[in-house]
């Protein structure tokens, strides 16, 4: 696999120590958008977002401007996750401390998805459209500004409307098996999603008391029943 690594660091291992354990061809380039016009035979573009975010965001967004058909993997420090947004246009992200096994898996998945190039992967629930290819969410045609985790959480719920997801299952699907935070993380993100959906649509995300959450299409909730009596609390 050919990896184009956009970074200001002296070598790829300084950004991703695990990459030195993998058998891939590495090409280093400056973290500047113009380099994206000459990608050569690269399979994945790796963007360093661990130091300066603005150059990283510019490089990622340039992939859309230049119609780059290669997946983009963002490497971001844990402290930067709070500002990570799907609107940048990347395909996946990892921490610099990612293990070699996980990094290899993520890279393979990115390449496989790119080669499959399955168009039109979108979930539609009422007036809510979740596009998995562009990582965009639209409500009544208007885009919602969601973080990466908010998008992943909404996508998980929207792919199975009316299905009840436990908090533990959502943690596994959205945050991964190695996440050490508590289930209240899910509650916090649900509250944020409801706020962004607005007062007319926030009740699409229903709290099932003592279990978790489900996404209910508009018009299917005729009254506020006992199952979601604590829904406003998240």
- Residues 77-106 have pLDDT tens digits of 998 888 888 888 888 999 999 999 999 999
| Same domain for 130 and 144 | yes
Q: Give 93's strand partners.
A: 74
Sign of CA dihedral 197, 198, 204, 206: positive
pLDDT of residue 216: 92
Final residue belonging to a domain, choices 52, 81, 116: 116
Beta carbons of 110 and 83 less than 8 angstroms apart: no
Q: Which domain range does residue 92 map to? A: 2-116
Beta carbons of 6 and 48 less than 8 angstroms apart: yes
- Among 127, 149, 129, 143, which residue's Cα sits nearest to residue 193? 149
| Same domain for 112 and 21 | yes
Q: How sure is the predictor about 168, in pLDDT bands with cuts at 50, 70 and 90?
A: confident
| Same domain for 111 and 32 | yes
User: In this structure, what CATH number is given to the domain that contains residue 192?
Assistant: 1.10.10.10
Beta carbons of 96 and 16 less than 8 angstroms apart: yes
pLDDT of residue 68: 62
pLDDT of residue 34: 56
Instruction: Name the CA dihedral angle for 55, 147, 123, 182, rounded to a multiple of 10 degrees.
Output: 140
DSSP run (H or E) holding 149 = helix 148-158
pLDDT of residue 43: 84
User: In this structure, what CATH number is given to the domain that contains residue 26?
Assistant: 3.40.50.2300
Number of domains into which the chain is organized: 2
Segment 44-82, tens digit of pLDDT: 889 999 988 888 888 888 776 555 678 899 999 998 888
Final residue belonging to a domain, choices 91, 116, 141: 116
């Amino acid at each position: 696999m050919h990896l184009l690594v956009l970074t200001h660091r002296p070598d790829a291992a300084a950004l991703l120590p695990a990459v030195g354990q993998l058998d891939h061809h590495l090409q280093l380039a400056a973290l500047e958008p113009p380099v994206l016009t000459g990608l050569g035979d690269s399979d994945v573009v790796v963007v360093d977002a661990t130091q300066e975010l603005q150059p990283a965001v510019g490089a990622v967004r340039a992939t859309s401007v230049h119609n780059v058909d290669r997946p983009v993997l963002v490497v971001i420090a844990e402290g930067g996750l709070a500002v990570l947004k799907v609107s940048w246009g990347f395909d996946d992200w990892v921490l610099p401390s990612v293990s070699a096994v996980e990094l290899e898996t993520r890279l393979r998945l990115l390449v496989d998805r790119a080669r499959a190039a399955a168009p039109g992967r979108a979930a539609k629930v009422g007036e809510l459209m979740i596009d998995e290819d562009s990582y965009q969410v639209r409500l009544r045609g208007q885009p919602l500004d969601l973080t990466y985790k908010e998008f992943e959480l909404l996508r998980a719920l929207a792919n199975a409307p009316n299905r009840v997801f436990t908090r533990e299952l959502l943690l596994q699907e959205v945050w991964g098996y190695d996440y050490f935070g508590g289930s209240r993380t899910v509650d916090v993100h649900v509250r944020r999603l409801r706020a962004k959906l607005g007062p007319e649509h926030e009740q699409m995300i229903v709290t099932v008391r003592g279990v978790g959450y489900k996404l209910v299409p508009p018009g299917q909730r005729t009254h506020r029943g006992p199952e979601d009596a604590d829904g406003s609390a998240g």
